[in-house]
């Protein structure tokens, strides 16, 4: 039987989604819980990778089990063996050809930014608190987001050493909205380069602070080197929010 699970997690204590040597990953922890439930090793496929410290609201993973479980009971069983900062929110029976990664149409991330002089402590590890920094020019931030939408060469938006030969990606949507001192940046695309969303935020930050202008951003989108780009925003503000599949 082929299964899909929707997962939420806090990334602070993990090296990221993907299994890696000498580090604890989200994937490793969930596979360990599934092994205890199923009585055999289980390999899961995630819809997308998240880096160390990145959180998830709606990560999706798929896997096969020899046994047929009622979804709600399987959810309870998996969560019994998981730490409190990782939760399986839903379990689904899915068609045999479903794959959490390759069946995905689009992936959505949200980045949360707190601009206040004081940040509520319950938001620690969940937002980028720009403590003591100059306020954003929101008009410029929104113009930058509009410019980044569409298909571009995102070489300057990828971690050095991990940029593919074809760095072109299409951003379907990039929006920013404000709720008091909180800014929420939402970005949707079929796929992303390594660190791409966090570098997008770093570049929007640079524009919004007046450190660089829109002409500079236009040059980045034409294929500049990563060294010409701005900072990589902190991992804590980034959330893997949703994966969209064909109905």
Task: Report the catalytic residues.
Answer: 51
The DSSP H or E segment spanning 197 is: helix 196-208
**DSSP single-letter state for residue 134:** P
The DSSP H or E segment spanning 144 is: helix 138-148
Nearest partner of 45 among 78, 74, 2, 79, judged by Cα: 2
Give per-residue burial for 164-193: e unless 16+ CB within 10 Å, then b: eeebebebeebebeeeebbbbbbbbbeebb
**DSSP single-letter state for residue 121:** G
- On the 0-12 / 13-18 / 19+ scale of CB atoms within 10 A, 9 is buried
The DSSP H or E segment spanning 173 is: strand 168-179
Separation between Cα atoms, residue 152 and residue 155, nearest integer Å: 9
CB 123 within 8 A of CB 129: yes
Q: In this structure, what token pair is assigned to residue 210?
A: 């007046």
């Amino acid at each position: 039987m082929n299964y899909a699970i929707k997962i939420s997690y806090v990334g602070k204590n993990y090296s990221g989604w993907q299994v890696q040597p000498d580090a604890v990953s989200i994937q490793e922890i969930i596979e360990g819980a599934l092994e205890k439930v199923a009585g055999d090793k289980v390999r899961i496929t995630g819809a997308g990778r998240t880096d160390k410290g990145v959180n998830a609201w709606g990560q999706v993973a798929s896997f096969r089990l020899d046994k047929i479980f009622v979804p709600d009971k399987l959810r309870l069983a998996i969560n019994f063996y998981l730490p409190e900062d990782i939760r399986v929110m839903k379990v689904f029976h899915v068609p045999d050809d479903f794959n959490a990664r390759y069946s995905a149409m689009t992936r959505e991330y949200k980045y949360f930014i707190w601009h206040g002089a004081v940040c509520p402590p319950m938001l620690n590890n969940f937002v980028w608190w720009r403590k003591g920094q100059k306020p954003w020019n929101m008009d410029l931030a929104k113009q930058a987001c509009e410019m980044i939408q569409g298909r571009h060469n995102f070489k300057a938006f990828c971690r050095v050493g991990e940029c593919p030969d074809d760095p072109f990606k299409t951003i379907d949507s990039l929006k920013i909205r404000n709720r008091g001192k909180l800014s929420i940046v939402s970005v949707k695309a079929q796929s992303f380069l390594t660190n791409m969303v966090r570098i997008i935020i770093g570049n929007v930050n640079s524009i919004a602070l007046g450190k660089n202008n829109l002409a500079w951003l236009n040059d980045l989108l034409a294929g500049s080197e990563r060294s010409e780009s701005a900072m990589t925003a902190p991992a804590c503000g980034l959330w893997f929010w949703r994966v969209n599949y064909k109905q």
